[in-house]
Amino acid sequence: MTKDVLMDIRNVSRRFRGLVAVDDVSFTVAPGELVGLIGPNGAGKTTLFNVLSGHLPPSGGQVLLEGHDISRLTATHCARRGIGRTFQVVKPLTTLTVHENVTVGALLHHPLAVAKEKAEAIIRRVGMASLMDQPASSLTLESRKRLELARALAIDPKILLLDEILAGLNTYEINESIELIRSFSKSDGLAVIMIEHNLHAVMSLADKVVVLDYGQKIAEGMPSEVVRDPKVIAAYLGDDQDAA
């Protein structure tokens, strides 16, 4: 049973002064599993990510990675344990090139020469080969989102936290990215939690969907089940829709 759990999120809460942004959320992620994390704006999705990646300490609860409690670790140590993440508001290292950006990630587990090669391979795989030596500051939003992904992949993560990497992309780019994410999760056995507003993408990708509303988990299950859950419909469409 525990063997099938890579990340175990147990009753995690996060409060900011009076506001409860994440309220007693629990779910698990298996190796190679792709979990969609959805919910209306302000539901606490990004805050939960910040707790999982160590950028914020939880106010309560535990996060276990491969059975070890990581909830008190800093972002640095979470990354070293194998948690890779992207940022919703993209944060490239603007004075470095694309290749250097990704190399920085690869340096975590590899010496410089190997890291450079590895970075190059990842950049090719995410389809940015032609931008290799461009400064990150010159990239379009789409390329910046891909760079986020490439950087997160470069640290050899066991689990990848993707924060709205499809937002702002056009349909073609979204389909491409979906293929890309699927290939990482299926062929490399990488677990993924993705925050996504694009429900089409979530439905086609996710093995499991977790729905947050006002910081609480209101549903968890197969994508096809979750979309029929009345609580989820109410959260997305507003309560007055029940009457209609």
Residues that bind other proteins (CB under 8 A): 53-55, 74-77, 79-80, 84-85, 87, 91-96, 100, 103-105, 107-108, 112, 151-152, 154-155
| Closer to other proteins by Cβ: residue 87 or 235 | 87
Give min distance, CB of 115 to other proteins, in A. Answer: 8
Judged by DSSP in three states, 184 sits in: helix
Give min distance, CB of 108 to other proteins, in A. Answer: 4
Give min distance, CB of 197 to other proteins, in A. Answer: 21
- Rounded distance between C-alpha atoms, residue 110 and residue 138, angstroms: 27
| Closer to other proteins by Cβ: residue 138 or 241 | 138
Main-chain phi, psi angles of 108, to 5 degrees: -60, -40
Spacing of C-alpha 53 from chain mean position: 10
| Closer to other proteins by Cβ: residue 32 or 84 | 84
| Residues 219/226, Cβ–Cβ less than 8 Å | yes
Give min distance, CB of 123 to other proteins, in A. Answer: 15
Q: Where are the alpha helices (DSSP H) in the chain?
A: 45-52, 75-81, 98-106, 112-125, 141-154, 171-188, 199-205, 223-226, 230-237
Handedness of CA 114, 179, 205, 234 (dihedral sign): positive
| Closer to other proteins by Cβ: residue 94 or 183 | 94
